Amino acid sequence: MNDKRYTRFSQVFNSESTTIIGKNILAGFLEKNGIMPYNPATAKSLKKIISLFSSPGQWIKVADASTIADFSIGHLNYSINSTTRYLELYIKGNLESKAWGVTNPINGKIILAPCLIDGIEHNFWAASVVIHEQDHFSNFKAGLYQGNSFITQELNELSAYKAAAKWTGSMERQGFIHLQNVIEYFLKLSNY
């Protein structure tokens, strides 16, 4: 088991404890809505998760050739890694990022990595990814944290990690990295 999966596995099964952010309410919410949080995520369970956390008619799709083409209009062209089934972004032949989900900042469309429904990840993790991307969509609709500047992107990511943490009870390590980047940015502005 690689470190990333072990960290998520540990977070999922130890998340009933109280943290500085709060208590895990996501597992109970999923159960109350007929989704077993620690069962493997499937296309059917993800569809239900999407319906719980998104607006009616909102564009959220699992990536395939057709949905990627639709999603990428006016934005960067992601691809699916055939082995890991993550979304990947290559710019000038270099891998720039890999993602569980991406929200298009031009039109608000959300695309999700196919590995979310391969039966390996749990419904809990799939829901936290949807919540994360939904926060990006909310920021897009409100005009918050939009643009290509470093600090705007860091604030947008921090916002999404915090939104997921409110449901899961703990923030992922990457969220704390964005928090640290935001703090360092503002400290440099104040000449500390």
CB 114 within 8 A of CB 101: no
pLDDT exceeds cutoff 60 at 32: yes
pLDDT computed for residue 191 by the predictor: 77
With a cut of 70, say whether residue 58 has pLDDT above it: yes
Q: What is the pLDDT of residue 173?
A: 94
pLDDT band at 65 (very low <50, low <70, confident <90, very high): very high
What is the mean predicted confidence (pLDDT) over 39-46?
97
pLDDT digits (tens, 9 = 90+) for 124-145: 999 999 999 999 999 999 999 9
Q: What's the mean per-residue pLDDT of the chain? A: 87
Give backbone dihedrals phi and psi of 102, rounded to 5 degrees, phi first.
-140, 140
Summarize the confidence of residues 41-69 as an average pLDDT: 95
The two beta strands, 60-62 and 78-80, are: unpaired
Question: Which residues have C-beta within 8 Å of that of residue 138, sequence separation ≥ 6?
Answer: none
Q: What confidence tens digit (pLDDT) does each residue in 72-83 have?
A: 887 788 999 999
pLDDT value at position 72? 86
Q: What is the pLDDT of residue 192?
A: 61
Whether pLDDT at 99 is above 90 = yes
Q: Count other Cβ atoms within 10 Å, centred on residue 44.
A: 10
> What pTM does this model have?
0.86
Assign 23 a pLDDT band (cuts: 50, 70, 90). low
Do the bridges between strand 60-62 and strand 110-112 make them parallel or antiparallel, or are there none, so unpaired? parallel
